[in-house]
A and B are shown apart, each in its own frame.
Chain A
């Protein structure tokens, strides 16, 4: 089931040079260790650069939004079979 939302989350990331890779999501007092970063894409909201990370663990797909101006992470989409 697909659910669209806009919840603030905490994300632990690994750094690889200029790139980052989300490793774990903390949402609603639960931890979700991530297995795979499937796609990363950028978007512009006016002059503001946003990055979207499509990630998954064993049972969930999550789309994470990272605002490069406020450095804030949000969970914007979740899909569970």
Chain B
């Protein structure tokens, strides 16, 4: 039976900021969702709140104005993605030394398979303590992590969630069912708000009541997810570690500081976003065939759709034109565009075949040169003249940081 470990940094971005600046320790702080310049914007969200802020009711993904309303003394900091990715790399480096296999689950979470290296649960406990000590030495005492050890990913994550901050919870195989029964359904990775609400309508508000519902009933209501729910209620999960799993889609969405009201503004920001998506695609050496584009209006209603294309897409202009063909027929500028999102899917790890057209071939060689320039001088080394005046701030959250693309 495998021995898996889940390591989760506590209040990650906020802890890193408190480590860097000791005057912030013990204070209610929050790190905004975007980089420098928008930390206190009314349209930013809380990417991470410190333990002190969480105790006052500030939650992750809460808008910064709402957080400030609940906790007026809250210090909102702009995120520093380069700092966070450096700390994440230290976590990965330490864990790689001890794990048979590693899956980076998010910017501050990893799953480790330690079956061979730990040999048994006693060995896994010692390993967890070693990793924690090394993390403290490498990242500082303010950066703490909770660790869960269990026979599968589901229970390992539940275990690490169960004691925060700086917890170490070991769930032996014979204790899995009893341990799972003590956890609330919302803590299960795979039970989101919608599933939780749907389960409530079936009378399942806890693990005990979920166990009382038959597998057939769950499958009838949730299809294949129903079978997973039935297993999860008993702490059963055989999901393997996703090591180097290829991306299924690459996308970028952005909430603007003020609503966009003209066709020109929407187009140039769509093009800037598409260039970001193209940059990530070139970084991963992939081309895509499906484009999804959507806008969110000022009143929070949404409009969008997706299209499958025969020709592979990889450059920003091509992606923007494809997205534009989806949005243009129905977009209503008068309602004010608050957010634009572009995603390319149906990805293939392949180079674009040589084109018959000279103009397209020229564009491909220009893109190659621009890519080289970006690698040497950074992500903002070039910009299309059309997108002049757009400024997409770097995201704090997520684990494919924008600055890593040019590296």
Contacts and interface: CB of A to CB of B under 8 A. Distances in A.
Contacts of A36: 22
Interface string B365-407: 0000000001111100100000000000000000000010011
A36 B140 CA distance: 12
Contacts of A39: 16, 19-20, 83, 139-140
A47 B75 CA distance: 34
Contacts of B36: 4
B87 interface: yes
A16 to B, nearest CB: 15
A56 B21 contact: yes
Contact of B23 (A44, A47, A52, A56): A56
B21 A38 contact: yes
A14 interface: no
A2 interface: yes
A1 B22 CA distance: 14
Contacts of B378: 44-46, 48
B20 A63 contact: yes
Given A46-B375, A54-B20, A41 B403 contact: no
B21 A61 contact: yes
A46 B19 contact: no
A81 B25 CA distance: 12
A81 B406 CA distance: 36
A61 B83 CA distance: 16
B82 interface: yes
Contact of A41 (B83, B375, B376): B83
B107 to A, nearest CB: 14
B407 A44 contact: yes
Contacts of B273: none
Identify the interface centre among B19, B20, B83, B87: most chain A CB within 10 Å of its CB: B20
A46 B377 contact: yes
B77 interface: yes
B35 to A, nearest CB: 11
B86 interface: yes
B346 to A, nearest CB: 31
A41 B82 contact: yes
A54 B375 CA distance: 27
A52 B83 contact: yes
Interface string B4-16: 0000000000001
Nearest to B39: A2
A42 interface: yes
Nearest to B76: A2
B143 to A, nearest CB: 9
Nearest to B83: A41
A46 B381 contact: yes
A27 interface: no
Nearest to A38: B20
B349 to A, nearest CB: 25
Contacts of A80: 23
A46 B374 contact: yes
A22 to B, nearest CB: 14
Contacts of A43: 82-83, 86, 403
Nearest to B139: A39
A46 B406 CA distance: 6
A36 B23 CA distance: 12
A43 B87 CA distance: 11
A55 to B, nearest CB: 9
Contacts of A46: 374-378, 381, 406
A43 to B, nearest CB: 4
Contacts of A52: 82-83
Interface string B72-95: 000101000011001100000000
Interface of B: 16, 19-24, 36, 75, 77, 82-83, 86-87, 139-140, 374-378, 381, 403, 406-407
15 contacts: A38-B21, A39-B16, A39-B19, A41-B83, A41-B86, A42-B86, A43-B82, A45-B378, A46-B376, A46-B406, A52-B82, A56-B21, A61-B24, A79-B24, A81-B23
